[in-house]
């Protein structure tokens, strides 16, 4: 499997990081070694002093596809999930300043939380899903898929131009505003609508 991530897909998040609004989706990959194993904690890496959480709606691909037309994209997923794209923000800033790829700051071991997936049929409209992240039982991030600059089906169309999508691949669709530093002993809990789909401790 591969993890395909979308950056800068919510206007308020773009604004909070003082980034430019892209003309097309920003893509990057995480290796499968980035996935936090079930029931394990997230360990802050020794090379960063400023790791941020980014909660994101996830889509799990259910069939092989290449050059998928947007009108057929709905056939390529039947599960919706929630996860965290952990980002070593200090390292990312350093790499961006040098014009270098972000992978070290985004794809390091343990940088991806993948929560429980829910059937797509749970939702009347995948472009109107509420989700949120609570940090230590307090609301930290909240979003709705209606606020995506590029919606799920458009992302599948775009991504499949460059990468063949395979069964089990996971797309991270971007984060809303509210990203913040994590510290040891934080507890991060994710919800789709009012269903808890993950809870992870920071070490």
What are the pLDDT digits (tens) for 47-101? 999 999 999 999 999 999 999 999 999 999 999 999 999 999 999 999 999 999 9
DSSP element (H, E) containing 5: strand 3-7
Domain residue spans of the chain: 3-201
What are the pLDDT digits (tens) for 144-170? 999 999 999 999 999 999 999 999 999
- The whole-model pTM stands at 0.96
CA atoms within 13 A on the CB side of 115: 26
**Hunting for tokens 């890496």 — which residue is that?**
45
Assign 97 to helix, strand or coil. helix
* Residue 96 backbone phi and psi in degrees, to 5: -65, -40
CATH class of 3-201: alpha beta
- With 0-12 / 13-18 / 19 or more C-beta atoms within 10 angstroms meaning exposed / middle / buried, residue 27 is middle
pLDDT for residue 16: 67
Q: Measured between alpha carbons, how far is 150 from 160 in angstroms, rounded to an integer?
A: 14
Assign 85 to helix, strand or coil. strand
**C-beta pairs of 35-38 under 8 Å, 24+ apart in sequence:** 35/3, 35/110, 35/112, 35/113, 35/114, 36/110, 36/112, 36/113, 36/114, 36/200
């Amino acid at each position: 499997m591969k993890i395909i991530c979308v950056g800068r897909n919510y206007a308020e998040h773009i604004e909070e990081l003082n980034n430019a609004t892209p003309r097309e989706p920003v893509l990057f990959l995480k290796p499968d070694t980035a996935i936090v194993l079930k029931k394990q904690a997230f360990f802050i890496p020794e090379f960063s002093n400023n790791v941020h959480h980014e909660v994101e709606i996830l889509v799990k691909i259910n069939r092989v596809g290449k050059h998928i037309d947007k009108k057929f994209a709905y056939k390529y997923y039947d599960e919706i999930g929630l996860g965290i794209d952990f980002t070593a923000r200090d390292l990312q800033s350093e790499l961006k300043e040098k014009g270098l790829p972000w992978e070290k700051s985004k794809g390091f071991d343990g940088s991806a939380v993948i929560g429980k997936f829910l059937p797509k049929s749970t939702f009347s409209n995948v472009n109107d899903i509420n989700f949120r992240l609570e940090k230590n039982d307090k609301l930290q991030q909240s979003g709705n898929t209606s606020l995506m600059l590029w919606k799920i089906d458009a992302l599948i169309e775009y991504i499949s131009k460059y990468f063949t999508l395979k069964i089990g691949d996971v797309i991270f669709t971007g984060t809303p505003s509210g990203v913040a530093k994590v510290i040891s002993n934080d507890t991060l809990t994710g919800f789709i609508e009012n269903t808890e789909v993950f809870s992870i401790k920071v070490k």
